[in-house]
Structure 1
Amino acid sequence: MYSLVSAPVLGFDLTRLDGGAAAADVLLRALTVTADDLPVIAAAQLDEWSRVGHWLDVDAAARTRRRVTTKTGGSSTRAKTDSGPAAPNETAEQLADTLATLERAPIGTVDGLMHLVRHDVFDWTWRRHPGGLSQIKPADRAVGVVCDAAAAAYLWEMLPDNTRRDLTAPWLTALATLPERAVDLGPQATAVNALIERVAALSPQVVRRLGAASGKARPALADWAAAVHSASWSVFVAGRVRASAAAQLMLVQAVEKAGVPVADRAGGVWNLLSGAVQALVVRDVLDGPTLYRLLDPVVSVLGPVVVPRRPID
């Protein structure tokens, strides 16, 4: 299940999906929504009959994606011997197709994404009562508009064109009348923005160097994972979960803009960049060794991209 706390995992999925950058944009804008915006967004919602029809398409697309991913993973396993070579009857083209599918196979699901939108992004719209939880009005309808747009982007290539357009249109209509607000990246916004802007402007040569760096980092994956866990815990303790999630979503867009190949994203480039962004969000409270562990692989390729670390007040 997706959550804002585990935004690097969400970002890993989005950066490998055709509509991932579009989904990231929906979530980013949703993070800036205020209570005053809810009536405007709710008013743009499709009628329920239209939504029901389109969500039948969403359900079918989600089941198709799961089926394709499961089938591909199973066939890939059967096609290999213990030592790893392809079975004789599997062609190089089939192997390439299998690899491409696995590279794009998400960890989460559209249901998990909907839960994230309703209960994480819009957690502030829920109120506890003796009988349980309920959403303030008209948050239920407004959040439905955001869910429609997020699902359409998440399942981009799996949905009929008209379904994708119809599910996205109400959100775009609402955005046209709402103010565009800056995303809150927390007290380390300058450093985070500096890295994300550098990523968005990567040249093909630097992209290749990042790919090579991610390959060299694989033997130390356990140490890197521990460092990411430490940074993520610091994000939670520091109360910067939403800022961290916004930074990861902005990174999805930057990686897309830079044209990093999906194979490289899946092969380790996303992990390197995501870990560096996570560290920068809490660089004023993160211990030095962990900060160095997460930033060094990226800085070794991109060079210095941030101002010196601010001391803790």
Structure 2
Amino acid sequence: MRYTVVGAATLGFDLARLPHGDVVAAVLRSALACGPAGLDRLALAHPGPDERRRRQTTLEQALVEREALTALLPHAGRALEEAARGQVHTLRRLEAGMLGDAAGLDHLVRHEILDWTWLRSGSMAVQDPVAADAADVLSDAAAASYLHEPVHAGLWAEMAAPLARAAVPLRDDLDVTDAPEAATVLRAVAAADEAVRTSWRQVVDDLRPHTTQWAPAMHRATWAVSLSERLRIAMDVQLAGVIAFHRGGFTAIDAAYGAWNALAGVLQAGLVEDLLPRAEAEVLLRPWHLVHG
């Protein structure tokens, strides 16, 4: 499955469960904020086509070890039933299996986040050469943390090095331009202690019987984000949410059990509460109100 700007919350679900997902989020936020000057610096840090080709060959070998979660998702309900009976195998796979992959991450960076760098004429489209090199650097740095594991530690370091050389600021803060209403939620989640994390887990458990309400409400909120041309802002908010989720000590287990979806819904609703029917807004904001009042 490809990652998209529209599906930022889905990308967040994957990144919330990855050990270094917050770093991926920071790289993607840097890409979102990048202008022409930043692209120039990134392109100058490109390792060159031959060196990158060598790294890509090694990367392809690592990719075959990755297992997609798509075929497993229909069994998510069964996983919770199994966990209640002490059968945790499926749940463990839900904690680690990805909805997307590194190729989807590259497409997101190159074709969606940097969509403004493509030159178009009729049905033909080609990316500006400087932007194409910059996209290589950003995509490689994001993939290095997305795929990070001890076995290929040298490869990840090599892939991330050009971004560090470019001296483009890594956006690992919680500030979101044009969405100041998200600040309260992000900072509260990032500052969570064990009592707050426990409250989130309890609320998610308590609301589980009502999860059928969440999907249509989230769909409506995402549609409102799209119609109001707030997609890039929403992606920035969701990615900042990933950073806050990690910083607050929430785990892959928390994300797999629903804590990430709850947070993603709160953040999305906050962006378009002015456009949402009250019932849908209440569904998405309910976890926040129950935990924080």
What's the TM-score once normalised by structure 2's chain length?
0.89
Contact 2:266 2:285 (C-alpha < 8 Å) held by counterparts: yes
Partner of 1:51: 52
Q: Does 1:217 align with 2:207?
A: yes
**Within 1, Cα distance between the matches of 2:287 and 2:83?**
31
Residues 5-35 of structure 1: per-residue CA shift (max 9 Å, x gap):
0100000001101221111010011100001
| Structure 1, unaligned runs of 5 or more | 304-313
Cα offset, 1:302, TM superposition = 1.7
**Within 1, Cα distance between the matches of 2:251 and 2:171?**
30
**Within 2, Cα distance between the matches of 1:184 and 1:155?**
26
Partner of 1:151: 143
Partner of 2:233: 243
Cα offset, 1:190, TM superposition = 1.9
| Structure 2, unaligned runs of 5 or more | none
Residues 81-103 of structure 1: per-residue CA shift (max 9 Å, x gap):
xx95999xxxx7xx556533331
Cα offset, 1:175, TM superposition = 2.5
Q: Which moved more, 1:15-24 or 1:44-53?
A: 44-53
How do 1:103-114 and structure 2 match up within 5 A? 103-114=95-106
Q: Does 1:204 align with 2:205?
A: no
**Residues 42/283 of structure 1: CA separation in 2 closer, same or farther (3 Å cut):** same
Q: Does 1:193 align with 2:194?
A: no
Cα offset, 1:70, TM superposition = 9.3
Contact 2:189 2:244 (C-alpha < 8 Å) held by counterparts: yes
**Residues 182/259 of structure 1: CA separation in 2 closer, same or farther (3 Å cut):** closer
**Within 2, Cα distance between the matches of 1:283 and 1:175?**
37
**Within 1, Cα distance between the matches of 2:161 and 2:216?**
42
**Within 1, Cα distance between the matches of 2:232 and 2:151?**
29
**Residues 11/182 of structure 1: CA separation in 2 closer, same or farther (3 Å cut):** closer
Cα offset, 1:285, TM superposition = 2.3
Contact 1:152 1:159 (C-alpha < 8 Å) held by counterparts: no
Q: Does 1:282 align with 2:272?
A: yes
Identity %: 33
Cα offset, 1:49, TM superposition = 2.3
Partner of 1:28: 29
**Residues 86/300 of structure 1: CA separation in 2 closer, same or farther (3 Å cut):** closer
Cα offset, 1:53, TM superposition = 2.0
What's the TM-score once normalised by structure 1's chain length?
0.84
Residues 52-93 of structure 1: per-residue CA shift (max 9 Å, x gap):
2221222222210128x699x6xxx9xx9xx95999xxxx7x
Contact 1:184 1:246 (C-alpha < 8 Å) held by counterparts: no
**Residues 195/131 of structure 1: CA separation in 2 closer, same or farther (3 Å cut):** closer
**Within 1, Cα distance between the matches of 2:197 and 2:119?**
46
Q: Does 1:14 align with 2:15?
A: yes
Cα offset, 1:159, TM superposition = 5.6
Partner of 2:156: 164
Contact 2:30 2:170 (C-alpha < 8 Å) held by counterparts: no
**Within 2, Cα distance between the matches of 1:181 and 1:54?**
26
Contact 1:231 1:282 (C-alpha < 8 Å) held by counterparts: yes
Cα offset, 1:50, TM superposition = 2.0
How do 1:175-194 and structure 2 match up within 5 A? 175=167, 185=176, 187=178, 189-194=179-184
**Residues 158/63 of structure 1: CA separation in 2 closer, same or farther (3 Å cut):** farther
Aligned length: 287
2:37 is aligned with what amino acid?
Answer: D
1:286 is aligned with what amino acid?
Answer: L
Aligned Cα RMSD in Å? Answer: 2.8
Q: Does 1:262 align with 2:252?
A: yes
* 228, 238, 262: which one aligns with 2:218: 228
Contact 2:237 2:267 (C-alpha < 8 Å) held by counterparts: yes
SS across alignment from 1:134: strand
Larger Rg: 1
2:279 is aligned with what amino acid?
Answer: P
Contact 2:266 2:288 (C-alpha < 8 Å) held by counterparts: yes
Cα offset, 1:284, TM superposition = 2.4
Partner of 2:38: 37
Partner of 1:307: none
Partner of 1:119: 111
**Residues 198/295 of structure 1: CA separation in 2 closer, same or farther (3 Å cut):** same
